[in-house]
Amino acid sequence: MTAEGLTAAPLAIARPLSWIVVGAFLAAALLERRDEDRARAVAVGAWLLFGLFWLVLVPHFVLEQKSIVEGIGSILAAPLSVYAGYRLWNGRDSLFVLTRAVGIMGLIYLPFAYVPFLEANPARRFLVETVAAQTHFLLNVIGVDPEMVRGVEYFSRDRGVDYTYRSTFVFPGNARPITYTIIVACTGIGSMAILAGAILAVRAPFRRKLRALAVSIPVIYGLNLVRNVFIATAFGQQRMQWFPGLLTSLFGTTDEQMVSYYIADRLLAQFGSVIALVAITWLVVRELPEVVTPIEDLLYLLTGSEYDLEGALGSSTVRADGGEE
């Protein structure tokens, strides 16, 4: 198999598999209240499939995307998913919350990311083009004015459905024009789905869930626009051409114009997004302390140690309303 085939094949497998995985997680969540034993079996199967899903995507994130964060994340997620299934099978019932959370995350994310038999996904198009238009507006505010076009007008080969939208910024460049395209991964929908899934999965008064969503989703959306503006400016105006020899070797490219992109996006923005997500999660915990349960389970899966985050934060810190509703 060629290198191009090796990086294209994972998506052909992962996309349909993603719906099967999410369906299994949601089925386990529905069964949990009526038949815990059957729910446990279905949930364990879902976690095993989830591990396979991440294993399939490793070549895509490592070889195609050249993403350190996503590459390490997919490599870790595969065995951790299997371990989660093992721990759930052996009686760690708190993992049912994380099971529900993953199912809800997928239900929110997949309609934007992948809908079988529907390439002209209206929800995806609306989200991508809205984020692109808002990014373009903010670029103009700071005095940066790239041309915004449909990506297919500049690329000779098919790069995916996102490039058919009006979401590609064109800068003059050096050797040739520089293009930066807003794709679905640049909209923040992934991070929003993660937090929304965790919030909606816990058993708590709906009013507090709404408050938690209100303090997290707008912040994620706004920070994501700032992220897009930062990457577009740094890459389009070639502001981070640092250590070109080292960076081109590290990311396996001969195109020195890509150096600013790899520094701005693959290094600074992606690691910054992880830090921002942790900070926003802390805000969510203040409104909805029940969210610490899936967080504690994640930490347990990663480290093998038990954590009492609510105790560490203190009840006066994690409960913003001072009592039950």
The reported pLDDT for the residue numbered 8 is 58
CB 253 within 8 A of CB 284: no
Q: How many C-beta atoms surround the C-beta of residue 37 within 10 A?
A: 8
CB 43 within 8 A of CB 28: yes
The reported pLDDT for the residue numbered 320 is 37
Rounded CA gap, 110 and 190, in Å?
9
**Between residues 12 and 88, the one the model is more confident about:** 88
**Between residues 65 and 150, the one the model is more confident about:** 150
Catalytic residues: 186, 227
7-28 pLDDT per residue, tens: 458 888 988 999 999 999 999 9
Residue 3 has pLDDT above 50, yes or no: no
Task: Say what angle helices 95-113 and 189-201 make with each other, to 10 degrees.
Answer: 150
267-281 pLDDT per residue, tens: 899 899 999 999 999
CB 325 within 8 A of CB 205: yes
CB 197 within 8 A of CB 108: yes
Q: Which of 29, 47, 49, 54 is nearest to 39 (CA)?
A: 29
CB 107 within 8 A of CB 21: no
The reported pLDDT for the residue numbered 155 is 76
Find the mean pLDDT for residues 305-310: 79
Query: CA distances (Å), 64 to each of 58, 91, 167, 253, 301, in order?
Result: 10, 39, 21, 11, 28
Instruction: For residue 247, report the phi and psi dihedrals to the nearest 5 degrees.
Output: -70, -40
Min mean pLDDT across 1-15, 171-185, 230-244, 247-261 is at: 1-15
Q: Which of 252, 254, 259 is nearest to 178 (CA)?
A: 259
Quick check: pTM over 0.85?
yes
Sequence spans of domains, the chain:
1-93, 119-325
Give the strand pairing for 147-150 and 178-181. unpaired
Residue 183 has pLDDT above 90, yes or no: yes
Query: Which residue in the block uniquely carries the two structure tokens 């490039």?
Result: 163
Residue 194 has pLDDT above 80, yes or no: yes
Mean pLDDT for the chain? 88
Residue 315 has pLDDT above 70, yes or no: no
Residues with Cβ within 8 Å of 4's Cβ and at least 6 positions away in sequence, in order, are none
The reported pLDDT for the residue numbered 4 is 46
The reported pLDDT for the residue numbered 318 is 41
The reported pLDDT for the residue numbered 225 is 98
The reported pLDDT for the residue numbered 171 is 93
Rounded CA gap, 149 and 136, in Å?
11
The reported pLDDT for the residue numbered 53 is 95
The reported pLDDT for the residue numbered 217 is 96
β-partners of residue 180 are 169
The reported pLDDT for the residue numbered 121 is 83
Q: Which of 3, 17, 9, 5 is nearest to 113 (CA)?
A: 17
Q: Which long-range contacts (CB under 8 A, 24 or more apart) does 251-255 make?
A: 251/66, 252/66
The reported pLDDT for the residue numbered 254 is 79
**HSE-CB of 34 using CA atoms within 13 angstroms:** 5
Q: Which of 214, 212, 221 is nearest to 192 (CA)?
A: 221
Instruction: For residue 180, report the phi and psi dihedrals to the nearest 5 degrees.
Output: -130, 120
Q: Give the CA angle between residues 103, 310, 308 to the nearest 5°.
A: 85
The reported pLDDT for the residue numbered 208 is 95
Q: Give the CA angle between residues 246, 274, 54 to the nearest 5°.
A: 85
